[in-house]
Chain A
């Protein structure tokens, strides 16, 4: 079921892109808008899940072992910074896709 969803979504995107390139500027812009919205949505959603899991793990760890709070919070900050840079990269790539390409 999951595979079918991914396959159909990919197929829909490819078909939209093909018709957009064939139709002209307005449709191309519309396809770009769809693509960037979809791309940003996926990136933000997955980064949100990842950050949530990281914070949950850190809170669990600190609740179990408050002595380790310092080490855990440092690791948490490093992890969150990595994840947030991914979201920012996605935003940059989407803006480039929308305005430059």
Chain B
């Protein structure tokens, strides 16, 4: 099942500009963690406000790591033109993330532990992926 989803997701990620396999794995895992846990929590808690806060945090985290990975890749591998365009995209993304967080916390007053848990999916994914890669390197 997971293999089938991977096979469908991989070409799409390559098209989106993630040429390197290692980077694709990080982004793919983040998509699974963000969307999967959000869906499960929303369904289990019967569409509670906390679960929507979690989903919002997870979505924001996904957008952030997506942009970060694209920028880092472009900075390392492409020398002309692309970094500036991606830098602008990164700045716009950062501003939008800030505004989204302001709207969620300041205006909507979402349960902040939900939001923080959702944002916590990135360190979790990064730590697990890093440990797996470390294990693969040592094996």
Contacts and interface: CB of A to CB of B under 8 A. Distances in A.
A92 B109 contact: no
A77 B68 contact: yes
B41 interface: no
Contacts of B64: 81, 84-85, 88
B73 to A, nearest CB: 7
Interface string A1-25: 0000000000000000000000000
B49 interface: no
Contact of B26 (A74, A85, A98, A99): A74
Interface stretch (B4-12, B31-39, B119-127): B119-127
A77 B19 CA distance: 14
Interface string A43-73: 0000000000001001000100000011111
Interface residues on A, range: 20 to 34
A71 B98 CA distance: 31
B101 interface: yes
A71 B97 CA distance: 29
Given A88-B64, A88-B97, A95-B102, A77 B26 contact: yes
A53 to B, nearest CB: 14
B59 interface: no
B42 interface: no
B8 to A, nearest CB: 23
Interface in A68-101: 69-74, 76-78, 80-82, 84-85, 88-89, 91-92, 95-96, 98-100
Interface string B84-127: 00000000000001100110011001001001100110110010
Which 5 A-B residue pairings sit nearest by Cβ, starting from the closest? A74-B22, A95-B105, A99-B106, A73-B76, A77-B72
Given A78-B126, A81-B69, A100-B109, 16 more contacts: A58-B76, A62-B76, A73-B23, A73-B72, A74-B26, A77-B68, A81-B64, A81-B122, A82-B126, A84-B68, A88-B60, A88-B101, A89-B119, A91-B101, A95-B102, A95-B106
Interface of A: 55, 58, 62, 69-74, 76-78, 80-82, 84-85, 88-89, 91-92, 95-96, 98-100
